[in-house]
Amino acid sequence: MRDRIDEGGREDATRVDYAALREVCASLAGGEEDDVALMATLACEIHHSDVRFDWTGFYRVVAPGLLKIGPYQGGHGCLVIPFGRGVCGAAARTGAVQIVPEVEAFPGHIACAASTRSEIVLPVFDAAGAVIGVLDIDSDRPDAFDAEDARELAALLSETFGR
């Protein structure tokens, strides 16, 4: 765990312990093959692991170029997102992690919640390397996500869905 300074200048010692999170998720998801069940489990565990995570959920690829809301924690999300729109669409379209320090500066950002200040979105790949969805984590704090979050969350997704 690594301490960070929050907006009020206080140390935030509640940053996720990724090793512990991966252990818990592996224990809960072990042997499960249903992607929606896995997404629901991960959304819950990830969301409650860190105070920075204001909305945590998955958007599933349901047709070529189209994402629909999957399991999530937090307020309501957008129901449908085309690959050509927003941060989630960019992650699905490019297959690359998107870290957005300030969502208002991202061209084409879709405002599902007015409280969102920053966002990280990771593509979710199946064993064959096809994008089956994205993991979207929003924060009500600016610049809440970094390379460690991207690396650790990508490893968790790979371990879970890359069977």
User: Would you state the pLDDT for residue 144?
Assistant: 96
Q: Is the pTM of this model over 0.85?
A: yes
Q: Could you tell me the CATH number of the domain that includes residue 123?
A: 3.30.450.40
Domain count, the chain: 1
Q: Which domain covers residue 65, as residue numbers? A: 4-161
Averaged pLDDT, 41-68: 97
108-163 residue pLDDT tens: 778 777 788 999 999 999 999 999 999 999 999 999 999 999 999 999 999 999 86
pLDDT > 60? residue 65: yes
Q: What percent of the chain has pLDDT over 90?
A: 80
Q: How far is CA 144 from CA 4, 26, 148, 159, 160, in A?
A: 10, 25, 11, 24, 24
- Cβ atoms of 60 and 49 within 8 Å: the answer is no
pLDDT > 50? residue 76: yes
